[in-house]
Structure 1
Amino acid sequence: MFADTIRITAVKTLVVNAEMRNWIFVKVETDQDGLVGWGEASLNWKTRAVTGAVEDLEPLLLGKDPRDIEQILRTLNKHSYYRLGIIGATAVSGIEHALWDIFGKSVNLPVWRLIGGKVRDEVRVYTHLGLGDMKSVYETFDPSALRDKALQVVEMGYDALKVVFIPYSHYTVDIPSRRHVGRMMETLRDAVGEGVDIMIDFHGRPASVSAALQYIEELIPYRPMFCEEPVQPGDTEALRMVSERAGCPIASGERLVGFKEFEPLFQQKALNIIQPDLNHTGGILEGKRIAAAAEQAFMGVAPHNPNGPLAGAAALHFDISTPNFVIQEEMSGAVPWYDDVVSTPMRRVGSAWQVPYTPGLGVEINEKEAAKHPFKPEVMHTLGAVLADGTVVDW
């Protein structure tokens, strides 16, 4: 048993290079022997900025009771004075995960019990081509390679997968590009059959509503589960126009920070599925607020998560306790030594995570093993987002 009064004594970061991405683990220590919490604050190409943000926020946490999560979040957001943006919000998210981990451990309960309890018996998940290999995810534009990689995912037991094969685009779409997208989708559907759901991530590449709709027209005959981020985030009206005309569900939200950035989507009913990233949008508690508002706007929730294992654990507890949850993105086993560095509560049976009952988030970190994979600069995939005439476009 732990004392009635618990105080935070330190907040630290541990960076683990997972080959194509750095994982930023956040460790919150307390004055109780053995009571620490772990969270994740990974943000691609911003590793040093986020670890610096966590260090800057640490003085606001020292001496606080880690179970006063709402009060701590108000302190982190309001006493920073300037709005935190994606870097600061990611740092806060990782800290918040760790606070829930401590809370659960302190009362010997899994986090999902503390945030609403269980509303489902398993959590449906999907993954990407290459099972997390970033080159496969972002650089598969050949139909035969697409087919082979998709079949590998299905053979692993998944009944849903997501692909990124929309070309780097501008304001208009040429006929060959449209036809290529159609061929890719036809190949994919023929390979996996109708029993596997397919999601297409546009990555915000089209620079206009008309360009997005032209690509969607090619995909519709093959019944996508949803098309994701067909236009850049932030333009609610453009997203609403796509959703109204698409003929299939539209999803977005991974790059939005906090409830306030999601609110216009709910007010205009601008899409069908929201995709908050609990690693970036402020944490689990903010995610629950977003999900509740989405439910009132007749929207499902499919949390974004191409991040590391602790982000996955946080998403698992969120999904178990969220009524309008649809499906969860995941990248477990993204590197061969995954299980040497971290043990997680995610146990997959077929295409579903099972419900864990271990206290807290259920994560254990082997810091000695983690030290074998120190920080490295990540691969800059974005450098390829250039058209033939030299125009830099959205990645």
Structure 2
Amino acid sequence: MTTIARVETFLVAPRWLFVRVETDDGIVGWGEATCEGRSETVRTAVEQLSELLIGRDALRIEDHWQVLTKASFYRGGPILASAVSGLDQALWDIAGKRYGAPVHQLLGGPVRDRIRVYGWVGGDEPDEVRDQIAGRVEAGLTAVKMNASGRMSPLASVAELDAVVRRVAAAREVLGEHRDVAVDFHGRFTLANARRVAPLLEPYRPLFLEEPVVPENSHLIGELVRATTTPVSTGERLYSRQEFLPVLQAGIAVAQPDLAHAGGITEVRKIAALAEVYDVQLAPHCPLGPIALAACLQVGFATPNYLIQEQSIGIHYNLGAEVLDYCVDQQPLSFVDGYVQRLTAPGLGIEIDEQAVRAADKRGHAWRSPTFRHPDGAYAEW
């Protein structure tokens, strides 16, 4: 039996929480339990959940997932789900290393040889958007994602609506007809604003419109689906199959679970299968670190309805460390012609630089989400 002997957590720059699980026979698995702005809280949750794992067989992954998610009367939510996610990824990493195979091989084998990736671009003005996208294209990407806006009024002015359209038009101008732009509403839009702006963006053919309403208003997302021909996506703040079911039924085209938030590899595989029933594609949310990205890719190589993968290499808010800084070998996560080639090493397919992680944990981080305010002083969605 491969017994779990130790669980450690590492709070590392720029804003990530890594989980290290070691077995009694020396196998080490890595996971990522980052919950942006709340990772210290998740760290405590991982420590509590590890009580259920120490001394147990590391290879009973599904059984562990059941216990970790259900062995408390109060369940669910981003803190617990993120903690479970990091532990689950680490257990899959151990299993792959134990059997000498990449995780996607344990999930049924590859259905593709490479995965298309996209990068996030900022820029609140059209010229900034052009420059950011040009840089991403030069780096080899064929798709980008951009924010539709900054702070938005509850009922947007003409100027606010026109600014959204100008930015997306500028993106399309740089990208041409053979590259893609996804537009992230980031939960900043009311349903009324989303319904007004979505038809105005249709001439620019976005790949999808992301998170048009906040997740607690998911019951409204079907109204936007019916108001536009552009594919609608959501899911980075949904944490289970049960939470995805209503938006799948409402007609979204792309599901975006985050493997560091939505129960790890075990649950996201199930979300993908559920999405397939609704003819919905998977494009996991991942503006995070190398472990979360590798976990996403492992799922993607074994999942038929996998559209594209977000990644944050070179993203502007990775201050203090970059995605690849914690990897011994950066080559597996490099992209060529807009794709990452199939990972072939055992487990998650990457080797973490443990010395760099331990050193970074001593410095730590205290990343917090920004707070937006409307001109009248009221809270605005970030």
Cα displacement (A) at 1:180: 1.0
State the match for 2:256 in structure 1.
275
State the match for 2:339 in structure 1.
352
State the match for 2:326 in structure 1.
341
**Per-residue displacement from partner, 1:281-334 (whole Å, max 9, x unpaired)?**
101111111111111111111111111110000001000010011111011355
Cα displacement (A) at 1:210: 2.0
- 8 Å Cα contact 2:374-2:380 kept in structure 1: yes
Whether 1:183 aligns to 2:166 is yes
- 8 Å Cα contact 2:183-2:210 kept in structure 1: yes
State the match for 1:111 in structure 2.
103
TM-score relative to the length of structure 1: 0.91
Whether 1:74 aligns to 2:66 is yes
- 8 Å Cα contact 2:288-2:323 kept in structure 1: no
Counterpart selection for 1:296 from 277, 289, 298: 277
Instruction: Tell me the C-alpha RMSD between the 2 structures.
Output: 1.5
Determine the C-alpha separation between the residues in 2 that align with 1:296 and 1:333.
35
State the match for 2:24 in structure 1.
31
Whether 1:203 aligns to 2:182 is no
TM-score relative to the length of structure 2: 0.94
Determine the C-alpha separation between the residues in 2 that align with 1:182 and 1:155.
24
Counterpart selection for 2:139 from 152, 156, 159: 156
**Per-residue displacement from partner, 1:72-91 (whole Å, max 9, x unpaired)?**
01111121221141011101
SS at match of 1:248: coil
SS at match of 1:12: strand
State the match for 1:219 in structure 2.
201
Cα displacement (A) at 1:349: 1.2
Question: Structure 1's 379 and 145: CA in aligned 2 closer, same or farther, altered over 3 A?
Answer: farther
SS at match of 2:215: coil
State the match for 2:297 in structure 1.
316
- 8 Å Cα contact 1:93-1:279 kept in structure 2: yes
Counterpart selection for 2:219 from 237, 240, 250: 237
- 8 Å Cα contact 1:24-1:40 kept in structure 2: yes
State the match for 1:394 in structure 2.
381
How many residues align? The count is 374
Cα displacement (A) at 1:270: 2.7
- 8 Å Cα contact 1:333-1:339 kept in structure 2: no
Amino acid in the other structure paired with 1:229: E
SS at match of 1:234: helix
Counterpart selection for 2:350 from 355, 363, 372: 363
Amino acid in the other structure paired with 2:341: Q
Cα displacement (A) at 1:337: 5.5
Amino acid in the other structure paired with 1:39: G
Structure 2, unaligned stretches of length 5 or more? none
Structure 1, unaligned stretches of length 5 or more? 130-136
Cα displacement (A) at 1:340: 4.1
Determine the C-alpha separation between the residues in 1 that align with 2:373 and 2:251.
30
SS at match of 2:379: coil
Determine the C-alpha separation between the residues in 1 that align with 2:352 and 2:339.
23
Decide which moves more: 369-378 or 102-111: 369-378
Question: Structure 1's 387 and 337: CA in aligned 2 closer, same or farther, altered over 3 A?
Answer: closer
Question: Structure 1's 169 and 27: CA in aligned 2 closer, same or farther, altered over 3 A?
Answer: same
Determine the C-alpha separation between the residues in 2 that align with 1:341 and 1:233.
32
Question: Structure 1's 262 and 353: CA in aligned 2 closer, same or farther, altered over 3 A?
Answer: same
State the match for 1:133 in structure 2.
none
Question: Structure 1's 175 and 315: CA in aligned 2 closer, same or farther, altered over 3 A?
Answer: same
Whether 1:166 aligns to 2:158 is no
- 8 Å Cα contact 1:173-1:214 kept in structure 2: no
State the match for 2:266 in structure 1.
285
Decide which moves more: 77-86 or 196-205: 77-86
Determine the C-alpha separation between the residues in 2 that align with 1:83 and 1:181.
39
Cα displacement (A) at 1:224: 0.6
Amino acid in the other structure paired with 1:192: L
- 8 Å Cα contact 1:181-1:218 kept in structure 2: no
State the match for 1:58 in structure 2.
50
Cα displacement (A) at 1:347: 3.3
Cα displacement (A) at 1:368: 2.2
State the match for 1:40 in structure 2.
32
State the match for 1:261 in structure 2.
243
